[in-house]
Amino acid sequence: MIPQHSVTFDQSMNMIENRADKPEEACGVFGIYAPEQDVAKMTYFGLYALQHRGQESAGIATFEGTHVHLHKDMGLVSQVFNETILEELPGNIAVGHTRYSTTGSSRRVNAQPAVVETRLGNVALAHNGNLVNTVQLREELLKSNFNLVTSTDSEMIAYAIAEEVNAGADWIEGAIRAFHRCQGAFSLVIGTPDGIMGVRDPNGIRPLVIGTLDSDPVRYVLASETCGLDIIGAEYLRDVEPGELVWITENGLASFPWNQQPQRKLCIFEMIYFARPDSLMHNETLYSYRMRLGRRLAEESPIEADIVFGVPDSGIPAAIGFSQTSGIAYGEGLIKNRYVGRTFIQPTQSMRESGIKMKLNPLKDVLFGKRVVIIDDSIVRGTTSRKLVKALRDAGAAEVHMRISSPPVTHPCFYGIDTDTQDQLIAATKSVEEIAKQLQVDTLAYLSWEGMLETTREDTNSFCSACFTGDYPVAIPEQVKRSKLMLEKAVV
């Protein structure tokens, strides 16, 4: 048996009515191979830095030889772990996960890492992404008499590896065979008694980076983003490439390109919104990219106004860029309560109606009588944006102009982002003019699709932008597609 420690935590996970009007990320993964280091504590801090990628559950599995210690529960990283729990997670290898549910409901049993037994010992798997062939894979595993205890695709990947290993393959061969059975998005950190793997799907839809610790011999760290390396003093080495498996052991790091036809399709929303602005992609911080988005937005959609500001925190870099190019003064029009996280206390009806003030409060003396430009990174349903515009007008803004540093979101994601069904996406059913009228703004403009991609300064074909175009890089089975694609055609 794998020991699991427990903590007391409200597991009702009731979602408050006014949840963020944004796509929600699936999760963050972290892994470390570092004998003689406190791997559990280092993983805790790595997950702490990746908390923005998922706030529903967190977990850490450590390997002490062949013995696995596991602790996972619902809640934020700081709620799930404390010093006492971390001291009960000894070992040389650790795998960590922080989760927002996409495939599989938000319950403790679905928290990760997923740990399963094989003939070579236990495997602990942490997954960022989403498979699109889960129905088929689940049927295959059930026919092989595996007892699936969760509703997650992540557990299925772990059992697929176990099946191949139990059939006689070693860790690398068994894992690669299992990956060929998986379709969709998967960035994985996988712990074994012998070493740790970092893996990306052939399109590299979700990020995964490698870092090094200053030690002799050099030790390695895996994380969804470079901010997970920075917090423990690890140096960024490189990305795990699409279709690559890296194997980290006492002998160092070895690379196994497991797919011979990788085609990079990094999720563009990682760059626009999901990843932290201080994380590195393409040898620069995402803060720099988001500032360029704002500059391009100002070029494409100029406006006369007195002040420009961003929706904290994700809209701020683009707002600064917009200000630099437009010449409109940058200021702060909204103050964010940064201590508001997930709450399990339901607000009253009157509070729900003005729920935006729970996180964002306008500066009345800054806004009064001013023509304001508010910058946000995206609009999904439009519910929060409308409340925000009302709050600005109530604060005395003379004009409210909204600019969005990405194109209209017209299609749902199937690769590890929790988006609504297509009929709930405001831009899938309404024109820009109709959206502006619904939000009650004076003007509304989105960044062009071309502008978004050209601003990356990378090959524009190397990104997945299906949420804006409906062009999915991995084919979506019809039964899966029907679950979210409610409309035949977007009307924008």
CB 91 within 8 A of CB 62: yes
Name 335's bridge partners.
361
CB 26 within 8 A of CB 53: yes
Q: Is 314 known as a binding-site position?
A: yes
Q: Is 182 known as a binding-site position?
A: no
Q: Is 377 known as a binding-site position?
A: yes
CB 31 within 8 A of CB 189: yes
Distances (CA, A) of 327 to 319, 392, 451: 11, 22, 20
- DSSP string for 119-170: TTEEEEEEEEEEES-HHHHHHHHHHTT----SS-HHHHHHHHHHHHHHTT--
d(CA 97, CA 236): 20
Q: Is 413 known as a binding-site position?
A: yes
227, amino acid identity: C
Q: Which of 26, 27, 245, 447 is catalytic?
A: 27
d(CA 445, CA 402): 7
Give me 73's structure tokens: 């529960």
Q: Identify the H or E element spanning 103.
A: none
Judged by DSSP in three states, 272 sits in helix
Helix orientation angle between 153-166 and 171-179, rounded to the nearest 10 degrees: 130
Distances (CA, A) of 219 to 66, 187, 281: 20, 20, 22
In our burial notation (b when 16+ CB lie closer than 10 A, e otherwise), range 202-222 reads bbbbbbbbbbbbeeeeebbbb
Active site residue 182: no
Give me 32's structure tokens: 């470390």
Cα-flanking dihedrals φ and ψ of residue 150, to 5°?
-120, 175
d(CA 103, CA 447): 31
d(CA 89, CA 3): 10
d(CA 3, CA 274): 33
Give me 204's structure tokens: 């590299």
Place of tokens 């409109």: 328
Name 360's bridge partners.
336
Place of tokens 């929303």: 269
Describe the chain by its helix, strand, coil percentages, rounded to 5: 30, 25, 45
Binding-site annotation: residue ranges for [4Fe-4S] cluster: 267, 413, 464, 467
Catalytic residues, which ones? 27
Binding-site annotation: residue ranges: 267, 314, 376-377, 413, 464, 467
Binding-site annotation: residue ranges for Mg(2+): 314, 376-377
